[in-house]
Amino acid sequence: MEIKLEHIGRRFNREWIFRGIDYTFEEGKTYAVLGPNGSGKSTLLQIVSGNLSPSEGKVTYWNTSNSIDTDSVYSHISMAAPYMELIEEFTLSELLDFHFGFKRYLNQLSKDSVIDLLGFEKSRNKAVKHFSSGMKQRTKLALAFCSDTPVLLLDEPASNLDSQGIKWYNTLIEDFTKGRTLIVCSNQEYEYAYCERHIHISNYKNPDHL
């Protein structure tokens, strides 16, 4: 799927976070959106996902030569971010059943194989609210990577992961991103080292864009 941004801007109150973004995310390519904390990376990713409307400009989604209606974009995109909430009253098993009631499993995966991928067999019937922050982040990543969607959006994907978790994250990148459009927001190189193209959010904050 191709995602096209046309003169995208977003402001809060009277302050522009960024403005004048014209960019096309091409099918099957990998992108890193870079900038310091508070620069607007997450805001841009929310706009790309369709969860947030731009203050100006428009986002269009294309599958081959056909446009995709905004209301159905969610079925084409998976996202993982530290600020995304899990339903913590669910057990892991219940959470997977719920999530994959809306998204298909990727590449013949199943609930059991995702739990095995996570290494959480002993926690399959544990309520998510009892998970550590690292376990929750792993779960968010697994839900995104293992969903059969052409676009994968990751915001600070290694947040709350220890060194073993970061190695696990890199394994997901190697095993589950082939042919998918991947957009990563980060200011940590180890999170986006594999990305082919870089977008610096600071390029859309200078006076020429205001």
pLDDT digits (tens, 9 = 90+) for 122-159: 999 999 999 999 999 999 999 999 999 999 999 999 99
> Does the structure show a pLDDT above 60 at 210?
no
> Does the structure show a pLDDT above 60 at 207?
no
Q: Residue 21 belongs to what H/E stretch?
A: strand 15-25
Tokens representing residue 38 in the block: 């508070």
pLDDT digits (tens, 9 = 90+) for 109-126: 999 999 999 999 999 999
* CA-based nearest residue to 76, from 50, 98, 55, 97: 50
Beta partners for 21? 8
DSSP 3-state of 13: coil
Tokens representing residue 66 in the block: 């056909």
Tokens representing residue 136 in the block: 């929750």
Q: Looking at residues 73-97, what average pLDDT do you find?
A: 96
> Does the structure show a pLDDT above 70 at 176?
yes
Exposed, middle or buried by CB within 10 Å (0-12, 13-18, 19+), for 102?
exposed
- The matching CATH number, chosen from 3.90.1150.10, 3.90.550.10, 3.40.50.740, 3.40.50.300, for 2-209 is 3.40.50.300
Beta partners for 11? 16
Local confidence band at 68 (pLDDT 50, 70, 90 cut-offs) = confident
Q: Check: pTM over 0.75? Answer yes or no.
A: yes
Name which residue leads in pLDDT, 75 or 126. 126
* CA-based nearest residue to 203, from 55, 19, 43, 48: 19
pLDDT digits (tens, 9 = 90+) for 7-64: 999 999 889 999 999 999 999 999 999 999 889 999 999 999 999 999 999 999 998 7
Q: How many CA atoms lie within 13 A of 170 on its CB side?
A: 12
Q: Looking at residues 163-190, what average pLDDT do you find?
A: 96
Cβ neighbours of 111 (radius 10 Å): 17
pLDDT score of 206? 58
> Does the structure show a pLDDT above 60 at 208?
no
Distances (CA, A) of 110 to 18, 30, 77, 91, 182: 41, 26, 19, 16, 23
Integer Cα distance of 7 and 19 in angstroms: 7
| DSSP-derived pairing of the beta strands 2-12 and 197-200 | unpaired
pLDDT score of 66? 81
Give the residue extent of every domain in the chain: 2-209
Average pLDDT taken over every residue of the chain: 94
DSSP string, 123-152: GTTSBGGGS-HHHHHHHHHHHHHTB--SEE
